[in-house]
Amino acid sequence: MGHGSGGRMTQELIQQVFQPHLSAPELLAGNDFAELSVASVKGKLAVSTDSHIVFPLVFPGGDIGRLSVCGTVNDVAMSGAIPLSLTAGFILEEGFSTSLLESIVISMEDAAKEAGVHIIAADTKVVEKGKADGLFINTTGIGWIPNGLLISGSEAKPGDIVLVSGTMGDHGIAVLAARGELGFETEIRSDVAPLNHMIRAILDVAPHVHVLRDPTRGGLATTLNEIACQSRICITIEEDRVPVQSAVSAACEMLGFDPLYVANEGKVIVIVPETEAVLALKAMQNNSYGQNAAIIGGVSESPASRVLLKTRIGGTRILDVLAGEMLPRIC
């Protein structure tokens, strides 16, 4: 508990665990604030905040540290913004391993470097044993939106094309597997990744992108429904065209899950006018995080606020949002 007292032990924790890795000048300055110069910013600022809780804290392909940086970087980038800086708030459960904490901080540092952002302010609190589940991390991100971009969930237009940047459901299944809940072993890794560079590459060739959104909790189906409702349009996707790793679809088959509802942490949905669709696709495919990108469907006027799925065998059905928790089936 002493590590959260604000006294010498807190200082030690900061100096020994955080500062060797999180070393932006704003942090090392030791103030209670970070200064940001906004004079050079042309356009608008984008801000996003997200609290990260995941069990287990370390899973194949990532950990809560990488997740907490990528999640917020991606949320900022989904506005078309260039992410600049992050803040991080840590809530630690008493007795949490310092070496595990350090490895998580290192992975935050790595993810931030990869994304090209600085962690400029941070805070740590320690709560009594049993009052938290190991470690929670909140990150807030800020970025600037270059002039001329108008990207929002409400901007999808009839005639637009819908793309995804890769295979669906990897993160959710990797985390389930790491919990030992599958009852079998898999080699599925979480896709957790910062997507801001890929999004820049898309916008360079397809500047009229209407919607960017990452299909995290609730998966592709739920996220498409959010967009369909916000834009009051209909999105139709083709089951055959949605990329899903065969190991993920096999795991889902066995458990009675649908990969279209399983979380992703390194994928983006792109909705773009038809004229720029192939350019956007190529830009994604040229990026290491978008090699399996695909065109999966299109936008039409009606039925408004609905998502439809053309099934593999030629039927059409509603693709609804997930009602609450995804529950495995019986038989």
Partner 1 sequence: MRYLDEFRDAELVKNIVGEINRIVTRPWVIMEICGGQTYSIMQNGLDQLLPSQIELVHGPGCPVCVTSLELVDKALVIASLPDVIFCSFGDMLRVPGSQGDLFSIRAKGGQIRVVYSPLDAVKIAQQNPDKQVVFFAIGFETTAPVNAMSVLQAKSMGLTNYSILVSQVMVPPAMHAILGSPSNRVQGFLAAGHVCSVMGYWEYPAIAEKYRVPITITGFEPVDLLNGVLMTVQQLEEGKHEVLNAYTRVVSKEGNVPAQRILNQVFKVCDRNWRGIGMIPKSGLCLLPEFDDYNAEVRFDVGRIQTKESEICIAGQILQGIKKPPQCPAFGVFCSPENPLGATMVSSEGACSAYYRYARNESVKA
Distance CA 55, CA 133 (A): 8
Q: Least separation, in Å, of the C-beta of 318 and partner 1? A: 5
CA-closest candidate to residue 179, choices 91, 255, 89 = 255
**Binding map of partner 1 across residues 252-271, x = CB under 8 A, - = no contact:** -x-xx---------------
* Distance of closest approach, residue 306 Cβ to partner 1, in angstroms: 6
Number of residues that bind partner 1 (CB under 8 A): 29
Six-digit token string for 115: 């994304």
Q: Does 185 bind partner 1 (CB under 8 A)?
A: no
Is residue 99 a contact point for partner 1 (CB under 8 A)?
no
The least CB distance from residue 255 to partner 1, in Å, is 7
Question: Cα separation of 189 and 311, whole Å?
Answer: 27
Nearer to partner 1, 49 or 305 (CB): 305
Q: What is the DSSP string of 155-193?
A: ---TT-EEEESS-SSHHHHHHHHHTT-SSS---------
Lay out the site mask for partner 1 across 107-146 (x = CB under 8 A, - = otherwise).
----------------------------------------
- Contact assessment for residue 17 and residue 10, using Cβ atoms and an 8 Å cutoff: no
Single residue of 10, 19, 51, 249 touching partner 1 by CB under 8 A: 249
The window from 37-45, 97-105, 145-153, 245-253 that contacts partner 1 (CB under 8 A) reads 245-253
Q: Which is nearer to partner 1, 66 or 306 (CB)?
A: 306
Candidates 205, 250, 278, 279: give the one binding partner 1 (CB under 8 A): 250
141-160 per-residue burial string, b: 16 or more CB within 10 A, e: under 16 = bbbbbeeebebbbebbeeeb
Nearer to partner 1, 28 or 318 (CB): 318
Minimum distance from CB of 303 to partner 1 (Å)? 5
- Of 11-19, 159-167, 203-211, 298-306, the segment contacting partner 1 by CB under 8 A is 298-306
**Minimum CB distance to partner 1, residue 95 (Å):** 22
Tokens of 112: 């931030």
* Rg, Å, the chain Cα set: 21
How does DSSP assign 77-111, residue by residue? HTTT-EEEEEEEEEEEETT--HHHHHHHHHHHHHH
In the complex, minimum distance from the CB of residue 252 to partner 1, in angstroms, rounded to a whole number: 10
Answer yes or no: are the C-beta atoms of 119 and 34 closer than 8 Å: no
Nearer to partner 1, 12 or 181 (CB): 181
183, 185, 187, 288: which one contacts partner 1 (CB under 8 A)?
A: 183
Could you say whether residue 39 binds partner 1 (CB under 8 A)? no
Using CA atoms, how far apart are residues 316 and 331, in angstroms rounded to an integer?
A: 25
Part of the chain binding partner 1 (CB under 8 A), chosen from 48-56, 86-94, 208-216, 320-328:
320-328
- Identify whether 146 is preceded by a cis peptide bond (ω within 30 of 0): no
Tokens coding 126:
């320690």
Contact between 148 and partner 1 per CB under 8 A: no
Whole-angstrom Cα distance, residue 188 to residue 191? 9
Binding site for partner 1 (CB under 8 A): 181, 183, 246, 249-250, 253, 255-256, 302-303, 306, 308, 311-318, 320, 323-325, 327-331
